[in-house]
Amino acid sequence: MNICGYYPESINEGDDLRAVIFLSGCRHRCSGCFNPATWNFNYGEPFTEQRQQEIITEMANNQLLGGMTLAGGDPFFSADEAADFIDNVRAAIPNFSVWIYTGYIYEDLIVSVDSAEYRLLMKCQVVIDGPFIESLKNTSLPYRGSSNQRIIDIQSSIRYNDAVELTT
Amino acid sequence: METRSGVSEEEEQMLREVSGLGHDITESLNVEMLRENANLNGESFSGKIGKFGSEYAKWYARYYIVPEKLMTAVDHNDLYVHDLDQYAVGSTNCIFIPFDKLLARGFSTGSGSVRTPQSISTAMALVAIIFQCQQNSQYGGVSGSKLDHDLAPYIAKSFAKHFHKGVLYFDENLPLEEHNITLGSLTLCNSHPRSYSFAVQETKIECLQAAESLIHNLNTMSSRAGGQIPFTSINYGTCTSLEGQMIIDSLLSATMNGLGSGETPVFPIQIFKCKRGVNQSPEDPNYDLFLKAVECSTKRLYPNFANLDAPFNLQYYDPTDPNTEFATMGCRTRVLADRHGRNRLSGKGNLSFNTINLVKLGIKHGIVNGRTVPHEVDFQRDLYHFLDIALNGLLHRYKIQARQPAKASDFMMREGVWEGGELLDSDESVEECLKHGSLSIGFIGLAECMKAMYGKHHAESEEVYATALELISSMRRYCDMKSEEHDLNITLMATPAEGLSGKFTKKDREVFGSIPGVTDREYYTNSFHVPVYYNLPAARKISLEAPFHELCNAGAISYIELDGNVRSNQTAFLKIVQYALSQNISYFSINHPIDRCGSCHYEGIIGDTCPICGTKETDVPMYRLRRVTGYLTGDYQTRFNAAKQAEVRDRVKHR
Ligand code: SF4
């Protein structure tokens, strides 16, 4: 798995101050994608154990961070590795909240409880879902690029068996 | 040497200078001079007239008034005398206005007298008038340190008035006791339910309208020379009476509503006073107002946050006297302590300040010149040399200020805006009053100074950081020592330096060339700040800058830059503010971009195209509101001087 960006602090990818990690690789190919270079799984640098550890240490030492956000590409194309990374993070920073971006819609990700995608989803608190749709582009929406995308509270959605959106 | 016309060469040079001044102003030749102050349109007629006055006054002070040593240090770029144009006439800098006193007693503007207001709308209208009268008595900022406490009695009056009206409308003619007619009276609410709720509603509406017109007034009265709006600040947040809470709430709502077409008000600067037990935790009475202040600040850049719990502020705090609560002039000036006993805010202010160019000292004695070790001893000697010159300049100026008759600052003294002034005859000197004010020595460019001395600035090395802290501590010790010696309030200031940041740099670069990390930008870093272009986590910037706040007893501010739309992320905003307070930052604010579409007036983040109406920047101007040294200005691209424009470009944002 490659990483193609890292913001140690950001207010633009979820509530609270969050670290943001961009994982390379995406097959959705949305037209008007903000950065098609990130589609390539070899884009950026390898997310080695050492680099992971560096970032985890930095996040653990930043007392203002409320959590991290995984963005891409689409982390769900590297679901197993992304889930393992979250495990590593939680081992060091137990109650760290994780938001995640995806070009899939929530309903697709929960189809099979045995899938790697489901496992990854269950490790996160919030998912911002759906492909970027150029005709629905709206940069004034918090945390999203187009109005079809939703900010979904994962645990509540599982409980109510329906996508529960966060109000922002 | 005499020339043929009988005029000495020196006189001829002076003549050339003074006529050159006029030419530059009339022809708008010196844009930097005209834009020195972002809130003054120096290219307008009135701006030019103002410039004529101030440029000539500076010229006069330089040749006839200011001590030669001080002027030489200024010419050599070692020191800066703030508001040199005001030096010769002996005017003073800024003041906290006792609005409670002026409103309760009524006052005279000089051309008419004003009675005690009988409603909140009149009281707020008078606040604007008082600000306007006072700003002509001095040259710097005018501030209210506790506007919520000051105005609460007039909410009570409005409520009583509306209640009586309600009794008539609703025919609720039951017996009542006059003293029971208060906003919080349950008895009243039960005995006269309809009149009571009518009165509450009407008072709320009146208060909000009054707050809106106050803010409009303070943004539109171009009553200072040069079409300049007075530099007004208001502090609030701690009054826990229902009346006080209504005022705070209305001021915040009015600010969020914005001006005529919804734009962000530039004035007054608003400061929310944070105090544990009052407004910092969910169980505190004013916590919801603190949250509203946070919301407002994410939309409008104001209010900023003052920290009443920082130990050096808390030591003066008396919960029964809101006048002992730390408050600040918007730009950062702090005047809480007084060796002559007035350890409270209203009725005094700062008298003047001189600023030391730390960077030049660093260049002269640091490793930057190819030296292998910095000459710390010479640096120290030089520093004390300039501290002495700066101080002697302040004392010299103080003598001029102190011998002025009360009538020279008529409103301020006659009405007792400066406490005790009302007891003076109009020809009597103001000395006894002024001794309660402060004389401040400021500094600029600690970061570049350290870089020049040691090759690293104070955020880049623990060792350098310790040295930097010790340097500022030694300057503070100097001020404390001299306070004793002269029995005056001599304090250390973290200079904001709007016009100054670029001037020092430009001259130093002419002499020393462009030195990386030192003179290679268009400005020097403000006071003790970590350079805006240096990337580090927000928490680290806060904890690095915090200890300097206690040292700078004349005032300091710290900023965090956020890049993005904080409006939708108030959680992050709130957390950063409370973290800064917990670290004992005295005065804190968060900078973030506010753009405004010239076509549909949408405010938020705008790239080259408005996300709402789709207009392109190439077709319509997008106004980009940014903050410099505490004051907001209109669009920074047209109102800032070059140095400050460069600083805005260089700021590293915590995304
Ligand atoms: S999901 Fe995101 S990264 Fe993938 S193509 Fe769409 S916009 Fe681009």
Task: Report pLDDT for B633.
Answer: 40
Q: Over the stretch B546-558, which tens digit does the pLDDT of each residue have?
A: 999 999 999 999 9
CA distance B340 to B211: 36
CA separation for the pair B165, B161 (Å, rounded): 6
Please state which of the ranges B194-203, B225-234, B504-513 shows the lowest mean pLDDT. B225-234
- Domains of chain A and any CATH numbers: 2-160 (3.20.20.70)
Query: Is B222 a residue whose pLDDT tops 80?
Result: no
pLDDT at B637: 45
User: What's the rounded Cα separation, in Å, for the pair A70 and A64?
Assistant: 18
Task: Work out the pLDDT band at B482, boundaries 50, 70, 90.
Answer: very high
C-beta of residue B112 within 8 angstroms of C-beta of residue B124: no
Over residues B201-228, mean pLDDT: 86
Q: Which residues of B366-376 are buried (b: 16+ CB within 10 A; e: fewer)?
A: bbbeeeeebbe
Nearest neighbour of B564 by CB, restricted to A12, A62, A138? A12
Output the CA–CA distances (angstroms, integers) from residue B579 to A7, B272, B312, in the order listed.
20, 16, 18
Instruction: Say whether pLDDT at B503 is over 80.
Output: yes
Calpha distance B144→B98 (Å, rounded):
7
**Contact status of A135 with chain B (Cβ, < 8 Å):** no
> What's the token pair of residue B277?
């037990």
CA dihedral over B651, B496, B254, B597, signed as positive or negative: negative
Residue B629, pLDDT > 70, answer: no
Strand, helix or coil at B272? Answer: strand
User: DSSP E strands: which ranges in A17-143?
Assistant: 18-23, 45-46, 67-71, 97-101, 126-129
Give the closest residue to B88 by CA, choosing from B37, B139, B51, B128: B139
pLDDT at residue number A97: 96
B644: confidence class by pLDDT, cuts 50, 70, 90? very low
B527 neighbors B443 (Cβ within 8 angstroms): yes
Q: Which of residues 1-60 of A touch B (CB under 8 A)?
A: 7-12, 14-17, 20
DSSP string, B183-195: TT-HHHHHHSHHH
Positive or negative: CA dihedral A83, A88, A89, A94: positive
Could you tell me where the DSSP H helices lie in B221-346?
A: 242-257, 287-300, 311-314
Q: Is the pLDDT of residue B458 over 80?
A: yes
What distance in angstroms lies between residue A108's CA and the mean position of ligand 1's atoms?
16
Report the pLDDT value the prediction gives residue B175, as an integer from 0 to 100.
80
Q: Per residue in A115-131, pLDDT tens?
A: 999 999 999 999 999 99
Average pLDDT on B603-625 reads 80
pLDDT at A106 over 50: yes
d(CA B294, CA A14): 18
How sure is the predictor about B510, in pLDDT bands with cuts at 50, 70 and 90? very high
Tokens matching residue A51: 């680099």
Q: Does position B497 have pLDDT exceeding 70, yes or no? A: no
For A67, the closest chain B residue by CA position comes to B572
Give the residue ranges of DSSP H helices in B258-286: none
CB contact under 8 A, A12 and B579: no
List strands edge to edge, sheet with B587-591: B95-96, B142-144, B232-236, B269-274, B304-307, B587-591, B558-561
State the complex-level ipTM: 0.91
pLDDT greater at residue B85 or residue B33:
B85
* B490-499, B530-539, B621-630, range with greatest mean pLDDT: B530-539
Pocket test for ligand 1, best of A38, A77, A144 (most atoms within 8 A of CB): A38
> What six digits make up the tokens of A111?
């189809």
Query: Looking at CA atoms only, how far is residue A53 from chain B in angstroms?
Result: 18
Got the DSSP string for B547-571? HHHHH-TTB--EEEEB-S-GGG-HH
Residues above pLDDT 70, as percent of chain B = 91
Please name the amino acid found at residue B533: Y
Residue B196, pLDDT > 50, answer yes
Q: What is the mean pLDDT of residues B108-116?
A: 86
The mean of the pLDDT values for chain B is 89
B593-621 as b/e, with b when 16 or more CB fall inside 10 Å?
A: bbbbbbbeebbbbbeebbbbeebebeeee
Residue type, B581: L
Backbone angles phi, psi at B486, to 5 degrees: -100, 0
DSSP B400-447: HHHTSBGGGGHHHHHTTSSTTGGGS-TTSBSHHHHTTSEEEEEEE-HH
Please write the tens of the pLDDT for every residue from A48-91: 999 999 999 999 999 999 999 999 889 999 999 999 999 999 99
Single-letter amino acid, residue B458: H
How remote is the CA of residue A134 from the centroid of ligand 1, in Å? 11
8-state DSSP, B324: G
Residue B621 has pLDDT above 50, yes or no: yes
Residues 526-555 of B with CB under 8 A from A: 537-539
Band of pLDDT at residue B615, cut at 50, 70 and 90: confident
Q: Do B537 and A142 touch (CB under 8 A)?
A: no
- Please count the residue pairs, one from chain A and one from chain B, whose beta carbons lie less than 8 angstroms apart: 64
The predicted structure's pLDDT at residue B34? 63
| String of DSSP letters for B578-645 | HHHHHTT-SEEEEE--EEEETTT--EE---SB-TTT--BTTTSPEEEEEEETTEEEEEHHHHS-HHHH
R_g of chain A computed on alpha carbons: 15
Q: Is the pLDDT of residue B224 over 80?
A: no
pLDDT score for B638:
42
Would the pLDDT of B363 be above 70?
A: yes
**What residue type is assigned to position B97 of the chain?**
I
Which residues line ligand 1 at a C-beta cut-off of 6 Å?
A 26, 28-30, 33-34, 38, 72-74, 103, 131-132
B646, pLDDT greater than 60: no
The pLDDT score that the predictor gives to residue B651 is: 44
Query: Whose CA is closest to B388, among B31, B33, B78?
Result: B78
Confidence of residue A168 (pLDDT cuts 50, 70, 90): low
